[in-house]
Structure 1
């Protein structure tokens, strides 16, 4: 499959590394707030459908990788209409993503974490649509992320409501 881009192969590689770096910096910022997450998560009353704490790391690692590749695919098309706005939406959802960890795990604020995860879900969906319009594969790469954030929204609500003393 031929990918259109006016950028050289070295610039493409640097671009991919840049998007991977940005995404994993956002992940690291969230991880700082989540240092005590396994202990805190173990204390919480959770619904029966909540995954064990060990599931979150691998799932998020794959999702972050898919997100970076999606952004890179959009970035590769400098002439695409709406590219700047789509990438700005991507950065905004990254910020909302990192903020959730601080709200939930760092500051134990379930209400604001729930508001944030709903905002995140909206931003992910809008970003996926914007990406899809530029490069359909990029939009599809965000589909697992949108599905996971939908699940995370329900889980955030359920855990917050079941733990009024902790969240």
Structure 2
């Protein structure tokens, strides 16, 4: 995983315009919307202060996805988009673990949230988040939303890795 860079424009556009990939997020973007969003993502990544961040997920030198952290004050919402070819490659959990730890360690956030559509996507998301003590919280109709507080994250870290809390 590395910060999103200008050389990742094709991957970004491919993911955000793909109906299959965007199914759990929302409607796919047009090419123009994806290009504009990519420019904004790169601009955020170029900032010195820890705000929104976007990373490219790579496996064996191949670009397989993008993970995003959208920050609002002391809260951050995480999202992960993978190419359909990478859906069965066990990429999600290690990437999410790394980003969640980054949120609390490097960015000192108070909470991390995640969201998906209800139904099968909700069940998949819940399983992916199960390494951490996320709690289900209120969400818009047809959506599922979870929150992980700094305190719950720290308690879980003490239980699973007492020398690395």
The TM-score by the shorter chain falls in which range? 0.3 to 0.5
Which of the two has greater strand per residue?
A: 2
Which of the two has greater helix per residue?
A: 1
Indicate the structure (1 or 2) with the bigger Cα radius of gyration: 1
TM-score by length of structure 2 reads 0.36
